[in-house]
Structure 1
Amino acid sequence: MHAHLFTPLTIQGVTLKNRLIMAPLYLGYAGQGGTVSDMLLDHYRLMAESGVAMVVVENATVDYPLGSGSHRTLRVDSDDHLDGLRQLAGVIRQAGTLACLQINHAGRFAHAAAEAVAPSAVKTFSRMPRALTLDEIPAVIDQYAAAAARVKAAGFDMVELHGGTGYLLAQFLSPRTNRRKDAYGGSLENRQRFALEVVAAVKARVGDFPVGYRFLADEWLPDGLNLAESCRFAANLSQAGIAYISVMGGTYESFSLPEIVEKSKSPGYMLDLAAAVRAAVDVPVIAAGRLATGSVADAAIAAGQTDLIGLARVLWSDPEWPRKVRDGREAEILHCTPDCGEACMQMVMKGRPAFCVRWPAEKMKTWKEKFS
């Protein structure tokens, strides 16, 4: 049953035991200041024991506080955080699961900083970021490279660059947020320059260590990055030696639009994006977005729409999902459903560690006793 989901795949010399990936999901479980907390370790231990082939740990900032989305965002900006990251990688790998850490600069969404920086001074909700100068850009690129080297030193199996959700890499790529008149702005060739320079710098620093990319395929905004341009960029990422491309759609400025809220309730609502990117590249693609049943996920691989399945809230709401699908017990799956009003997201936005309102009463009680 669902034979495609449970076949191995090798990516740049690293073999995944099946096609299931835990996609990165920020839940506010790190300690204040971005430390690796007991709560975070318990969470990722459970995710690693679920049976997925690889866990991609949520974004860790390459520059604190200037590049950090919150004070509970993990940090990989200095060697001071290596011990905690080693512990985190160890917890995941002890379960027989590959460990990957996503690294990020939040740019205009850096809520931990008093002043945010971005490609251009484009208002972000009620806040105006400062445009990076040409002299500052090389230092930011080096921060990504140094962070990736720490990921490798901490014992992870891969590193992922966060180019999704409208963060800094995507901000340079988007014509909506990049209005520069220099070599980093204007044409797609120029707007992709920053991201490709980051990829080159990271790969030069980590050698044959696999480097993946979280990929914004469409901002779902009328003046934003669209699929036609992003597929051209994806082809260039593939040629640059990226290990895989993890496809998603939308940003913080489009997620709450009524039409996007409605769209996101549909099974596999981002599969069309993954399929378009996969047709443009020669590297494995990860698809995500309510791939909540084994039949939908397996069919997506069988149809050539994707190579791997990314599970985020699907896995968090029921860590037994992979085993239940494999064993033909899908009727027992506890599904993440949109009718909860995105309660977990509301908790995160208020700076609180999230729990799933769909969890059974006993699990909820245990969680609250331990972490509230």
Structure 2
Amino acid sequence: MYPKLFSEIEISGITLKNRLTMAPLYLGYAGEGGTVSPLLLDHYRLMAKSGVAMVVVENATIDHPQGSGSNRTLRADTDENLDGLKELASVIHGEGALACLQINHAGRFAGSEEPLAPSAVETFGRMPRALSDAEIHSIVDRFAEAAARTKRAGFDMVELHGGTGYLLAEFVSPRTNKRTDGYGGALENRRRFPLEVVAAVKKKLGDFPLGYRFLADEWLPDGLQLEESTSFARSLESAGIAYLSVMGGTYESFFLPHILEQTCKNGYMVHLAAAVKKAVGIPVIAAGRIATGALAEQILEESQADLIGLARVLWADPEWPQKVKDGKEGAIVHCDPDCGDTCTKLVTKGKPAFCVRWPHEKMKAWKERME
């Protein structure tokens, strides 16, 4: 059943046992200050045990606190967290999955008092400060250092977070990049910063696989759209990126009524992955409420993507891969788009998330742990 979904694929010389990956999902499980907590380890142990080929760990900051989305954002910017990261990679490997760490600078969405961005464009009532050239170069170096630390920690791959409207995406977007220097204006200049980050990271890593969380469309009329993003995708391929994990939207578009309506539909971002796949030859990951084995198999069979990224789908039911493989899809606990988005509301309040769809015993155990 679903032969394509459960077939092997190779990324930069590394064999994945199937086409299923865990897409990065922030749940607030790290400790205060971004440490690797017991709760975080238990969570990723369960995700790796699910049967996916690769677990992509949620964004880890390359610059704390300036580039951290919150005080519970993982840290990859210091050797003080290296032992924790090593344990995290080991836990994932112990359950038979490959481990990838996503590294990030939150830019204008950082929780810092003075967020940084390509340009001073107001964001939710806050005005970020435009980066100087010297600061840009420093951040490039910090990405490279965090990537090298990730490799030392024992992860199999690194993923750059170029999605969700964070710093890498902010430079590419015509909406948030109003610079008039060599980093702004035409797409050729707006893509310069992320390409410099890719070059610096690859110089540090050598032939170590480097993926990219890729924003294909901001879902805003004056934002980045497919015509420019697919051109940028080709640039990333030429720069040596190993795969593109495709997504749509930013925090400024996620909660628009028509976007909320779309996100309730299965496979709501697959068309973006399909457009990117037509533009590049490297593996592409599709995500966005891919809730059934049939849909996942169809996406692969129709060459809309090469791999499937599961985030809330897997979190709601870590047995999803095995149930799909065994033909027991009727027993899957599905993420409910009508739940009121409880998990998102919790993390925006700085609290660890839980899923209202979890079975009673799991919910009870989770609450007891939080007390």
Runs of 5+ unmatched residues, structure 2: none
Q: CA deviation at 1:66?
A: 0.5
> In structure 1, how many angstroms separate the alpha carbons of the residues matched to 2:237 and 2:278?
12
Q: Secondary structure at the match of 1:3?
A: coil
Partner in structure 1 of residue 233 of structure 2: 234
Q: CA deviation at 1:126?
A: 1.2
The reply to whether residue 82 of structure 1 matches residue 79 of structure 2 is no
Q: CA deviation at 1:78?
A: 1.1
Q: Secondary structure at the match of 2:4?
A: helix
Q: Secondary structure at the match of 1:184?
A: coil
> In structure 1, how many angstroms separate the alpha carbons of the residues matched to 2:184 and 2:25?
30
Q: Secondary structure at the match of 1:63?
A: coil
Partner in structure 1 of residue 169 of structure 2: 170
> In structure 2, how many angstroms separate the alpha carbons of the residues matched to 1:58 and 1:261?
22
Partner in structure 1 of residue 15 of structure 2: 15
> In structure 1, how many angstroms separate the alpha carbons of the residues matched to 2:136 and 2:34?
24
Equivalent pair of 1:269/1:290 in contact (CA under 8 Å): yes
Q: Secondary structure at the match of 1:340?
A: coil
Q: CA deviation at 1:169?
A: 0.2
Equivalent pair of 1:268/1:291 in contact (CA under 8 Å): yes
The reply to whether residue 256 of structure 1 matches residue 228 of structure 2 is no
TM-score for both structures, normalised by structure 2: 1.00
Identity over the aligned pairs, expressed in percent?
A: 69
Q: Secondary structure at the match of 2:124?
A: coil
Q: Deviations over 1:228-263 (max 9, x none)?
A: 100000011011110100000000000000000001
> In structure 2, how many angstroms separate the alpha carbons of the residues matched to 1:9 and 1:360?
33
Partner in structure 2 of residue 321 of structure 1: 320
Give, as a single letter, the amino acid of the residue that structure 2 aligns with 1:3: P
Equivalent pair of 1:39/1:371 in contact (CA under 8 Å): no
> In structure 1, how many angstroms separate the alpha carbons of the residues matched to 2:362 and 2:135?
48
Q: Secondary structure at the match of 1:45?
A: helix
Q: CA deviation at 1:371?
A: 2.2
Q: Deviations over 1:346-371 (max 9, x none)?
A: 00011100000000111100111112
Partner in structure 2 of residue 365 of structure 1: 364
Q: Secondary structure at the match of 1:58?
A: strand
Give, as a single letter, the amino acid of the residue that structure 1 aligns with 2:346: M
Partner in structure 2 of residue 100 of structure 1: 100
> In structure 1, how many angstroms separate the alpha carbons of the residues matched to 2:341 and 2:227?
30
Partner in structure 1 of residue 31 of structure 2: 31
The reply to whether residue 145 of structure 1 matches residue 153 of structure 2 is no
Matches within 5 A, 1:163-202: 163-202=162-201
> In structure 2, how many angstroms separate the alpha carbons of the residues matched to 1:347 and 1:87?
27
Q: CA deviation at 1:114?
A: 1.4
TM-score for both structures, normalised by structure 1: 0.99
Give, as a single letter, the amino acid of the residue that structure 2 aligns with 1:362: E
Partner in structure 2 of residue 274 of structure 1: 273
> In structure 2, how many angstroms separate the alpha carbons of the residues matched to 1:343 and 1:282?
38
Q: CA deviation at 1:337?
A: 1.5
Give, as a single letter, the amino acid of the residue that structure 2 aligns with 1:105: H
| C-alpha RMSD over aligned residues | 0.5
Q: Secondary structure at the match of 1:197?
A: helix
Q: Deviations over 1:208-237 (max 9, x none)?
A: 110000000000000000011000000110
> In structure 2, how many angstroms separate the alpha carbons of the residues matched to 1:55 and 1:147?
18
Q: Deviations over 1:35-54 (max 9, x none)?
A: 00000000000000000000
Partner in structure 1 of residue 5 of structure 2: 5
Partner in structure 2 of residue 288 of structure 1: 287
> In structure 2, how many angstroms separate the alpha carbons of the residues matched to 1:133 and 1:170?
17
Moved over 2 A (4+): none
Equivalent pair of 1:102/1:160 in contact (CA under 8 Å): yes
Q: Which has the higher mean CA deviation after the structures are superposed, 130-139 or 35-44?
A: 130-139
Q: CA deviation at 1:135?
A: 1.7
Q: CA deviation at 1:136?
A: 1.3
> In structure 1, how many angstroms separate the alpha carbons of the residues matched to 2:106 and 2:37?
22
> In structure 2, how many angstroms separate the alpha carbons of the residues matched to 1:133 and 1:327?
55
> In structure 2, how many angstroms separate the alpha carbons of the residues matched to 1:239 and 1:282?
10
Give, as a single letter, the amino acid of the residue that structure 2 aligns with 1:361: H
> In structure 2, how many angstroms separate the alpha carbons of the residues matched to 1:35 and 1:138?
27
Give, as a single letter, the amino acid of the residue that structure 1 aligns with 2:193: F
Q: CA deviation at 1:129?
A: 0.4
